[in-house]
Amino acid sequence: MAKALYMLLIRIDSSIQVRIRGASYNLQPGYYLYIGSGGGPGGVHARLRRHLIKEKSIHWHIDQITTNTDAHIIKVWICNSLWGPYMESRVALCLEKHLDHGPPGFGSSDDRHAKTHLFAIGIDLSSLEPILRECCQDLLEEYDIDEYLGE
């Protein structure tokens, strides 16, 4: 698979501090959803593999979470056939209607429309998938992390 949007379901076990544009924000324990895109060399799968590595240099905002030992990616969704900054923004705007906003500007430095690409999940996790299907226009593949890794 080359280019696609993806979403990560992340469980944070204890408070994590992240910095965005010089401001600090505390992410409280709970579940978070991050939307991103992968279209460089190796496509979306290369980007997802990078997110799953704990020890790496901090390049993107999400790396501040994925490198933390108290944060665990537990599920991955890939929005097949959706690609590009416009589509990423469109999905993020849809998620903003349903989920609690994370820190402003998180993962969305190049997005002039969406407030953030990180969302706190203040709903029952079983209610999440219908929201994701709506926002990704039903072009969604779901993977438990062990399944994605082939374990």
Span 72-97, pLDDT tens digits: 999 999 987 777 768 889 999 999 99
Q: How far apart are CA 38 and CA 115, in angstroms?
A: 20
pLDDT at 135: 92
* Beta carbons within 10 angstroms of residue 25's beta carbon: 16
Provide the residue ranges of all domains of the chain, joining segments of one domain with +: 4-149
With a CB cutoff of 8 Å and minimum separation 6, the contacts of 90 are none
Please write the tens of the pLDDT for every residue from 26-45: 999 999 999 999 888 888 99
- The angle at the Cα of 131, spanning 120 to 108, to the nearest 5 degrees, equals 50
pLDDT at 131: 94
Q: Which helix (H) or strand (E) is 134 found in, with range?
A: helix 128-135
CA 149 to chain centre: 17
C-beta neighbour count of 103 within 10 angstroms: 21
Q: What angle do CA 118, 111, 2 make, to 5 degrees?
A: 80
Cβ neighbors of 22 (< 8 A, separation 6 or more) are none
pLDDT tens by residue, 93-121: 999 999 999 999 999 888 889 999 999 99
